[in-house]
Amino acid sequence: MRHTISVLVENKFGVLARIAGLFSARGYNIASLAVSETLEPSISYMTIVVEAEDEKILEQIKKQLNKLVDVITVTDFTKKEHVDRELILAKISYSAKDKAKLEAMLEKHMAKIVSHKGDTAIIEAVGNQEQIKQLLAGLSQFGIKELAKTGRIAMA
Amino acid sequence: MKLTGAQILLECLKREGVQVIFGYPGGQVLPLFDKLYDSDIRFILVRHEQGAAHAADGYARATGKPGVCIATSGPGATNLVTGIANAYMDSIPMVAITGQVKTHLIGNDAFQEADVTGITRPITKHNYLVKDVNDLSHIVREAFYIASTGRPGPVLIDIPSDIQMKDAEFIWPESVSLRSYKPTYFGHPGQIKKAAKLIANSKKPLLYIGGGIITSGAHVVLRELAEKIQAPVTWTLMGIGGFPATHRLSLGMLGMHGTGFANHATMESDLIIAVGARFDDRVTGRIDTFAPSAKVVHIDIDPSSISKNIRVDIPIVGDAKNILGELLEQIKKLPDTSDWLKTVDGFKKKYPLKYKESEKIKPQYVIEQIDEITKGEAIITTEVGQNQMWAAQWYKYNYPRTFISSGGLGTMGFGFPAAMGAKLGCPEKTVIDIAGDGSIQMNIQELATCVCNKINVKVMILNNGYLGMVRQWQELFYKKRYSHTCITGPDFVKLAESYGAVGIRVTKKEDVRPAIEKALAIDNTVLVDFHIEPEENVYPMVPAGEAINQMIEGLA
């Protein structure tokens, strides 16, 4: 099962390697990882989506993260009401006759075309896991040529 | 006052109370060694960097103070790696300092460059690459603080050689405060009350102790607690010395090569009070069969040790000494354990620790003699394998910090340099390395260090011509196919002599005692080569993956 956790870390040299190394050394899987500076530049905010078979493994992951000297706090969103979002960019190709159909679908999913060249377009969309999934299903009829996702960010 | 990086480092070490440094010079620590030349901190030049790391580790285990080692960049640093991993697995406070290539060369595959912070990240509690000389003093301060607080561990500081030469204003940080690192020292009062209640209502309580007792200095309060609630005490390899072996309530070590009575008592217990121990696989055996009727109270300073391997009923995070003290006060009603102690005594009679006497030299006999002659007052270090298990089983440790052994990592070659470190930390004590003929050859070069510095440790080699523990497994589980476990050693007497130490060979049982007495009386490093029964096994033994009461009790 996938769980979303956020980690506040000291924004120091090697901190990402410490987190990534912990996961690989202990055999945990990262489904996605998003990192950036916070308003306080000495602190970074990481959102990690982890695969954990059971509660015990999830507990260990949180405890091991907390044990790292550079980790300030660990928040588990599993049982918390929270908002999570992911941003995607998708390159699709479509013909002029499909334009209306595409625009209708983009509107439905609150997505938009951010770049356009000939018959290819780059679509930008923000949403939670389910919304993104539905959008991608809708876009698949046009043929997705490239897809980039930021990974999930979350906040409670 | 402006100082160079090297001077700042040494000034910090002095202020941290460092009295001895183990190390080896090289290109990228030249500026540091130049300043060491004028320093009054004692420097012990080892003959291999691995020896420096193990010596610093042994020093820390014997004294409780962080051990310090220094090596150059690249190969110097990678040679420290085994010793750092060893200290990490056993939660030993250590500060390792490595030279690094000049800042502008980092990442260029420069001569003797290795990504040492990268290599040591998973085997240190924390590590640093110093990029600005102005950060150096607070990094050193933090390193010592992190190494020696909470669950201790090794911290590495990688210092490029140009940083060692740069000048900076020396500012000594009076205190250390890290927002991201705040170990918990006091147990949750509610949890302690619950534990006290469980103890009061138990019929078969058992104290299961590990290295945390020794780290926190909880041995005195542990003894009070055991005596108050009349519970037997068993320990892990790391917990040896945390409770007196000669005490009526002592059960000895449990687990794979634990005593039969400790293992049976553990399986029968209805309440396990685990303190500073982590339910390692060598302790629990097959996990789903471990102590089936026991509730578990787990006291540990590291939350990640709790509920990692087994389900825990009452977790209590904090320092063992504080929590046991609180627990002692909270226990109002005492359990009646008289029947339980009778059962345990029955186990002691039924499953005694034993070996078959012989005219040949039995390793167990050698250790019993060492115990008698030193009156259990020596510091014993061990290598890894059969020598280690016999030393754990047959010497009676009554004091903390008297048994020094590589528990978690199981590092052959640890015992001798660790003995060196222990002797420097406790010069008034007799320090004996109980070794095998395989392990001793892994860091034998430190004989030179001992002789040059008059570090008079005694090495007792239980020489069976085999890598004994692996051979034992091959005998029992691989149809006696002794694949590459028969080893030829050197003439240990001549070897010792060539280094300026003293060598004694013992081939007859009646010479065992006089040889030990002679070795202890000689004012020099002494190597005693006991030619023991070659195919003697360590018993009892729980085969891997079995329940811990399913022991092989063979009497070889």
Q: What is the CATH number of the domain that holds B7?
A: 3.40.50.970
What is the pTM assigned to this prediction?
0.96
Which pLDDT score, from 0 to 100, does residue B397 have?
98
Residue B541 belongs to some domain of the structure: no
The first and second tokens of residue B174, run together, are 């009076």
Q: Within an 8 Å CB–CB cutoff, is residue B129 touching chain A?
A: yes
**Domain boundary residue, one of B350, B372, B391:** B350
Angular region, B425: left φ>0, alpha ψ -120 to 50, beta rest:
alpha
Cβ of A63 within 8 Å of Cβ of B303? The answer is yes
Q: What are chain A's domains?
A: 2-76 (3.30.70.260), 83-155 (3.30.70.1150)
Cross-strand bridge partners of residue B526 = B458, B502
B367 lies in the same domain as B346: no
Per-residue confidence (pLDDT) for residue A95, from 0 to 100: 85
Rounded Cα distance between B498 and B484, Å, is 28
| Three-state secondary-structure class, residue A115 | strand
Say if residue B162 is in the same domain as residue B220. no
Domain assignment of residue B137, yes or no = yes
List strands edge to edge, sheet with B67-71. Answer: B42-45, B20-23, B67-71, B94-100, B154-160, B126-129
On whether both B307 and B230 belong to a single domain, the answer is yes
Residue to test with chain A: of B139, B181, B182, B298, most A Cβ within 10 A = B181
Mean pLDDT of A144-155: 95
Residue A96 pLDDT: 82
Query: Considering only CB atoms, which chain B residues are within 8 Å of A70?
Result: 126, 180
pLDDT given for residue B184 in this prediction? 96
Residues B156 and B217 in one domain: no
**Interatomic CA distance for residues B380 and B390, integer angstroms:** 12
Q: Are B118 and A64 within 8 A, CB to CB?
A: no
pLDDT score for A97: 86
Are B148 and B287 within one domain?
Answer: no
Q: Nearest Cα to B402, choosing from B435, B362, B438, B430?
A: B430
Interface test with B, best of A9, A54, A55, A63 (most B CBs within 10 A): A63
Inter-chain residue contact A21 with B126, CB threshold 8 Å: no
Joined tokens for residue B489: 């050693």
Which CATH number characterizes residue B252's domain?
3.40.50.1220
Does the distance separating the beta carbons of B180 and A70 come in below 8 Å? Answer: yes
- Tell whether B225 is covered by a domain: yes
Contacts of A22 in chain B (CB under 8 A): 122
The sign of the torsion formed by the CA atoms of B165, B170, B171, B174 equals: positive
Residue B402 Cα to chain centre, angstroms: 10
Please tell me which of the candidates B117, B129, B146 has its beta carbon nearest to residue A69: B146
- How far, in Å, CA of B160 to CA of B117, rounded? 12
Any domain includes B486: yes
Does B218 lie at the interface with A, CB-CB under 8 angstroms?
Answer: no
B199 neighbors B331 (Cβ within 8 angstroms): yes
Whether B176 maps to a domain, the answer reads no
- Give me the tens of pLDDT residue by residue for chain B, a chain 556 residues long: 899 999 999 999 999 999 999 999 999 999 999 999 999 999 999 999 999 999 999 999 999 999 999 999 999 999 999 999 999 999 999 999 999 999 999 999 999 999 999 999 999 999 999 999 999 999 999 999 999 999 999 999 999 999 999 999 999 999 999 999 999 999 999 999 999 999 999 999 999 999 999 999 999 999 999 999 999 999 999 999 999 999 999 999 999 999 999 999 999 999 999 999 999 999 999 999 999 999 999 999 999 999 899 999 999 999 999 999 999 999 999 999 999 999 999 999 999 999 999 999 999 999 999 999 999 999 999 999 999 999 999 999 999 999 999 999 999 999 999 999 999 999 999 999 999 999 999 999 999 999 999 999 999 999 999 999 999 999 999 999 999 999 999 999 999 999 999 999 999 999 999 999 999 999 999 999 999 999 999 999 999 889 999 999 865 4
B308 in contact with A, Cβ within 8 Å: yes
Last residue in a domain, options B315, B350, B385 = B350
Domain boundary among B135, B169, B203: B169
pLDDT in the model for residue A143: 87
Instruction: Examine the domain organization and report whether B101 and B216 are in the same domain.
Output: no
In a domain, B182, yes or no: no
Q: What separation in angstroms does the CA of B346 have from each of A67, B208, B245, B255?
A: 43, 19, 18, 19
Strands A120-127 and A112-117: antiparallel
Tell me whether A41 touches chain B (CB under 8 Å).
Answer: no
Amino acid at A156: A
**Is the domain of B231 the same as that of B261?**
yes
Interface check for B126 against chain A (CB to CB < 8 A): the answer is yes
User: How many whole angstroms separate alpha carbon B371 and alpha carbon B349?
Assistant: 22
**Are A13 and B129 in contact (CB < 8 Å)?**
yes
In A, which residues are within 8 Å of B308 by CB distance? Answer: 60
Kindly determine whether residue B180 and residue A71, on different chains, have CB atoms separated by under 8 Å. Answer: yes
SS3 of B410-467: the string is CCCCCHHHHHHHHHHHCCCCCEEEEEECCHHHHCCCHHHHHHHCCCCCEEEEEECCEC
Lookup: tokens for B300: 């540990």
Query: From the CB of residue B138, how many other CB atoms can be counted at a distance below 10 Å?
Result: 14
| Contact (Cβ atoms closer than 8 angstroms) between residue B281 and residue B237 | no
Give pLDDT, residue B556: 43
> Which residues constitute the domain of residue B461?
363-531
A149 touches B: beta carbon within 8 Å: no
Query: Which residues in chain A have Cβ-Cβ distances shorter than 8 Å to B180?
Result: 9-10, 69-72
Tell if the CB–CB gap between B307 and A59 is shorter than 8 Å. yes
Chain B residue at shortest CA distance from A8: B180
**Residue B122, domain member (yes or no):** yes
B18 and B140 part of one domain: yes
Q: Give the total number of structural domains in chain B.
A: 3
> Has residue B178 been placed in a domain?
no
- Contact criterion met (CB < 8 Å) for A72 and B126: no
Task: Name the minimum distance, in Å, from the CA of A31 to any CA of chain B.
Answer: 21
Whether residue B138 is found in the same domain as residue B11: yes
**Can you tell me the mean pLDDT for A96-111?**
90
B117 in contact with A, Cβ within 8 Å: yes
Kindly state whether residues B346 and B375 are assigned to the same domain: no
B309 and B403 inside one domain: no
Question: Are the CB atoms for B437 and B505 separated by under 8 Å?
Answer: no
Chain B residue numbers touching A72 (CB-CB < 8 A): 179-180
pLDDT tens-digit readout, A48-99: 999 998 889 999 999 999 999 999 999 999 889 999 999 999 999 888 888 8
* Coil vs helix vs strand at B519: helix
Q: Say which residue the tokens 């072996």 belong to.
A: B245
- Per residue in A25-52, pLDDT tens? 999 999 999 999 999 999 999 999 999 9
**Same domain (yes/no): B197, B328:** yes
